[in-house]
Amino acid sequence: MRFTHLIYLLNILLLFNCKQPTSYLTKIEGKKIQIEDTMVEDPAIEAFIKPYRIHIQKDLDSVLAYAPKTYSKSDGKFNTALGNFMADAIFDMVTPIFKSRTGKNIDMVILNQGGIRSNINKGNITTRTAFELMPFENSLVVVALKGTAIDSLTSYLAKSQKAHPISKLKLIIDTNFEIVESSINGEKIDPNKIYYVAINDYIYNNGDGMTFFQPNEGLYILDYKVRNALIDNFKKVDTINPVQDDRFTQIP
Domains of the chain: 59-250 (3.90.780.10)
Contacts of 195 (CB under 8 A, 6+ apart): 107, 108, 144, 145, 146, 147, 150, 184, 189
pLDDT tens track for 234-252: 999 989 999 999 999 999 9
pTM (2 d.p.): 0.79
pLDDT of residue 53: 66
CA 134, distance to chain mean position in Å, is: 8
pLDDT tens track for 94-124: 999 999 999 999 999 999 999 999 999 999 9
pLDDT tens track for 177-233: 999 999 999 999 999 999 999 999 999 999 999 999 999 999 999 999 999 999 999
Distance CA 150, CA 148 (A): 5
Confidence of residue 22 (pLDDT cuts 50, 70, 90): low
Q: Compute the mean pLDDT over every residue in the chain, rounded to the nearest whole number.
A: 89
Count Cβ atoms within 10 A of the Cβ of residue 113 and give its class: 0-12 exposed, 13-18 middle, 19 or more buried: middle
